Amino acid sequence: MPISRKYSRKQILVVDDDPDSCEMLAVFLTSHDFDVVTAATVSAGLALVRQHRFDLHVLDWHFPDGNGPALCQQMGALDTPLVIWSSDAQEETRQQALSTGAAAFFTKPIDLDRFLVVVQQLTQDAGQAIDSATRPTQEQWSYTAFNAWWAPSLEFR
């Protein structure tokens, strides 16, 4: 159940059909002062976003009851930043995720330190509508030392 907005912690929805992945991300993000709600199916994730506004959505790409592109498009319409994390490392999947509204794409297994930087940046201005015009672009994140630090498992649109 989502936490009331009276608390200042940012709220993240994680949708992944792998319970271990959900638990790992929930524990990690909670330890970094985020409130995390998890869902194991597309339908459960969509039900949660209808009930509550989250500061960030972290989504898997493949689900037994739906698919990442449709979920990404539906959740992307809510003007909440999206991060995709998937075991599908194909370039076509990465490009499709970014073109359907994801602000970032990570390939599992992910580097949690890098993931945390992205989560903190994307939730920094949460509460304000974030659309494709204000979502961070590669250029906004780039300077030589920072770019050298990013792994190929991360891409911004």
pLDDT in tens, 93-111: 888 888 888 899 999 888 9
Q: What is the CATH number of domain 10-156?
A: 3.40.50.2300
pLDDT of 126 reads: 52
Per-residue pLDDT, averaged over 22-29, amounts to: 95
In sequence order, the β-bridge partners of residue 155 are 105
pTM: 0.74
Q: Is it the case that residue 146 has pLDDT exceeding 60? A: no
| Residue range 81-89: mean pLDDT, rounded | 90
Mean pLDDT of 2-28: 84
Q: Is the pLDDT of residue 121 over 60?
A: yes
pLDDT over 60 (residue 145) = no
Of residues 121 and 130, the one with the higher pLDDT is 121
129: Cα within 13 Å, side-chain hemisphere: 7
Distance CA 86, CA 55 (A): 20
CA distance 22 to 156: 23
Percent of the chain topping pLDDT 90 = 46
Cα–chain-centroid distance for residue 92?
19
Reported as a pLDDT band with limits 50, 70 and 90, residue 54 is very high
Give the Å distances, CA to CA, from 110 to 21, 53, 154: 11, 26, 9
Range 58-76 average pLDDT? 84
Which of 3-7, 70-74, 100-104, 109-113 is least confident? 3-7
